[in-house]
A and B are shown apart, each in its own frame.
Chain A
Amino acid sequence: MTEIQAQAPAPTASVLDTLDALEAEAIHVIREVVAEFERPVLLFSGGKDSVVVLHLAAKAFWPAKVPFPVLHVDTGHNFPEVLRFRDETVARLGIRLEVASVQDYLDDGRLQERADGTRNPLQTQPLLDAIAAGRHDAVFGGARRDEDKARAKERIISLRDEFGQWDPRNQRPELWSLYNGRHTVGQHVRAFPISNWTELDVWRYLEREGIALPPLYFAHERDVYARDGMWLAVSDVSPPREGETVERRTVRYRTVGDLSCTGAVVSTASTVSDIVREVAASTLTERGATRADDRLSEAAMEDRKKDGYF
């Protein structure tokens, strides 16, 4: 079987770089969960972090296919190009897609549209129902500890009670690489294989592995308008209000979320390498400033909130 495999020198410990170490840890976690749980599922939004987790899973079980389905919480406000990417990805990998539809809940009255029109907070119930319906005892997510202060304390394998709640006071100590995922009926665990990755690690890994992403991560021209210090896309679910001026701008998205509440950043970064440079540089130039550019810093905050939502 070796004829179709590339030969490459393996890194030894002394030259093992950060990405190799993080990859090894993530693959270990993914395999532990698959070995110890009956019905794992991966939360897959098409965003870069869940794309990385899926790529790691494909590597962990190669040449077999990924042995668990993916679950997407569809708010009905998704970018069409992200849904296309989602469908292409599951088809390519031959895995099952489960969809929890917020629109269904709105249609039959189980949920009501919020006054502000955003659907992000509405995702929780469809998500928990889908986990219960799929009898999923382990749910992979792409959340990272560098995203915010609460996430900095969450375990890699994190227990959820029957209401899907995280109890930070009652977390199991996590030592060495021994993960304790034992749970009782009704409980499930969330598993975060890339907990220890930073945003820059994710982009460097995407670059190194040549992983495909939805096109909206890269610079493109789009009709946008400014609101709350962000550039929002013009769409059916996010029309500009009175007095908001539509402009044609070259933008990209730092995270994948809803059309109605995800801001774009003005950027000409058109390749992953460009983005790696942009992310690395933004750390440098934003550092030490006493008064950051309001628009950019609020967009960054929004990015984090969205990333950490699950």
Chain B
Amino acid sequence: MSTTTPAATGTPATDGATAPAGTLFRFATAGSVDDGKSTLVGRLLHDSKAILADQLESVARTSAERGFGGEPGAIDFALLTDGLRAEREQGITIDVAYRYFSTGRRSFILADCPGHVQYTRNMVTGSATADAVVVLVDVRNGVLEQTRRHLAVVQLLRVPHVIVAVNKIDLTGYDRDAFAAVADEVAGLARDLGLPDVHVVPVSALAGDNVVERSANTPWYDGPALLELLEGLSTIDELETDLEALRLPVQLVVRPQGALSPELAASGADDVFRDYRAFAGRIESGTVRVGDAVEVFPAGVTTTVVGIDRGPVAVEEASAPLSVSLRLADPVDAARGAVIAAAGSLPAPRRQLEAAVFQLDARPLAPGARVLVKHGTTTVQALVADIRGRLDLDTVDTVPADRLATNDIGLVSLRLSADLVAAPYAEHRRAGAFLVIHPQDGATLAAGIVVEAPA
């Protein structure tokens, strides 16, 4: 059982009110309960001072009631997530919980993925937007089947950074060789899977070694502590915005006409905004600048950006992931579902998707199923034309399958009722991601990523 005193040291939660809010970093944690994930999450939240006194007090009280810890006020870190576990035992939840903490440098959104039940479903949900995934491994057990599966999902979803936290190093007496053996194993697996950026950190979530601060118990490790690492890694947008062309799916068209904001109407701006027409959306990738040439799908026209509005503020340029309204030089025929992109950058429209899908629903997916595909701001009808196989996560091979069950990752062909400007997920994550939806009850059946057409 994980116990410690709440007087544990840590870095200040914030530099104070005037400090900037820092950047936003999203990460997911994965691992089974036995790996000490709850303890690690509790330790991160506690040592980064995200737990308020009243929460801590209640956890300390429960710890005492349950007989934890010899010292007065000793707390069981795992109890910080205990409410969730109790609820899960009652069948209330089987899914991801979001937690928040910040340091002077960054704000973190932690998607805490429960380990053992429906792990693929939870891993996929938690990792889909993650800038990094922290996978826990017990130093005494090394890489398990589940570790391999977690890392395979992370690779498919192209999570930019993987941190393997080799936990419970206190139980092997902070032995360098025990850690090195696991680190070698992880490195080999990362090579096999083709994971680009893998960090291995020796930690003890229980004792706090290398979680928030570097530990004196591991003089043989000269890398950063876990939190230090999380503070320094680049986000998806930092990594990719400059590499990818502008792409903005249109959510809706803003045309005030008779419904101008009364504050503007009062200022006599009716004339100014009479012909205002802008395409509202969130920049999926790249940067847009006033004067840029853009193409518009499906209108098939090329025009020029004459204005970029963020609410009442007109800006000269904006980058992913900002929400903006674009004004274009020509009266383009475009509505929700249109895509505005850097001229010449849009892929050829597709009527068929070759995709890997993560089956989320309990009902199996089989050929002939009529579904909806939601991609960007478009939803189209689709037919499951073929199931080309199922991914065996242990061997990372495709094996034959005629239907997909919950937690399966399958390769499917989808015939679409209308064109989509989708791109392979490996080239452009937001242009390659879609949902498969049940046309009657609206359930999300599967999450899909576009893969290259089979050779």
Residues of A within 8 A of B (CB): 1-14, 16-25, 27-28, 31-32, 34-35, 58-65, 67, 92-94, 145-146, 149-150, 152-153, 168-169, 171-178, 180, 182-184, 195-196, 198, 200-201, 204, 273, 276-277, 280-284, 286-293, 296-298, 300-301
Task: For residue A70, give the distance in angstroms from its CB to the closest CB of chain B.
Answer: 15
Bound form: Cα–Cα A60–B257 in Å: 16
Is there an interface contact between B252 and A93, defined as CB atoms closer than 8 Å? Answer: no
With a cutoff of 8 Å between Cβ atoms, the chain B residues found around residue A32 in the complex are: 251, 377
Tell whether, in the assembled complex, residue B276 and residue A12 are in contact, meaning their CB atoms are under 8 Å apart.
no
Give the size of the chain B interface in residues (CB under 8 angstroms).
Answer: 108
- Name 7 A/B residue pairs within 8 A (Cβ), A-sorted: A9-B315, A10-B317, A18-B107, A24-B322, A62-B254, A184-B440, A273-B17
Q: Are A2 and B317 in contact (CB under 8 A)?
A: no
Chain A residues lying within 8 Å of B24, measured Cβ to Cβ, are 16-18, 21-22
Judging by beta carbons under 8 Å apart, are B57 and A24 in contact?
Answer: no
Query: Is the beta-carbon distance between B261 and A93 smaller than 8 angstroms?
Result: yes
- Hey, which chain B residues are within 8 Å of A61, CB to CB? 254, 280
Minimum C-beta distance from A16 to chain B (A):
7
Residues of B within 8 Å of A288, CB to CB, are 6-8, 49, 53, 56
For B322, what are the chain A residues with a Cβ–Cβ distance below 8 Å? 10-11, 16, 20, 24
A301 to B322 alpha-carbon distance, docked (Å):
35
Q: Which residue of B lies closest to A303 (CB)?
A: B54
- Whether the Cβ atoms of B323 and A64 lie closer than 8 Å is no
Cα distance A177–B322 in the bound complex, in angstroms: 13
Residues of B contacting A65 in the complex (Cβ-Cβ under 8 angstroms): 256, 259-262
Q: CA A109 – CA B264 in complex, angstroms?
A: 45
- A-contact 0/1 string along B126-170, CB 8 Å cutoff: 001100000000000000000000000000000000000000000
Top 5 closest A-B pairs, CB basis? A182-B442, A286-B53, A59-B311, A292-B53, A297-B54
Q: With A2-B314, A4-B269 given, can you name 12 additional A-B contacts, CB distance below 8 Å?
A: A3-B272, A12-B317, A17-B20, A17-B23, A18-B23, A24-B321, A63-B269, A172-B443, A200-B102, A281-B17, A288-B56, A289-B6
A35-B377, A168-B93, A196-B109 in contact; A62/B311 too (CB < 8 A)? yes
* CA distance in complex: A145, B242 (Å): 32
In angstroms, how far is the closest chain A Cβ from the Cβ of B84? 6
The answer to whether B273 and A1 have CB atoms under 8 Å apart is yes
CA distance A2 to B309 in the complex (A): 10
> Is A25 touching B435 in the complex (CB atoms < 8 A)?
no
CB-defined contacts of A35 to chain B, threshold 8 Å: 251-252, 336, 377
A169 CB contacts on chain B under 8 angstroms: 91-94
CA distance A226 to B248 in the complex (A): 55
Query: Across the interface, do B316 and A292 meet the contact criterion of CB distance under 8 Å?
Result: no
Q: B53 touching A153 by the CB < 8 A rule? A: no
List residues of chain B with CB within 8 A of the CB of A92: 262-263
A300-B52 contact in complex given A94-B261, A149-B84, A153-B96, C-beta closer than 8 Å = yes
Q: Across the interface, do B6 and A290 meet the contact criterion of CB distance under 8 Å?
A: yes
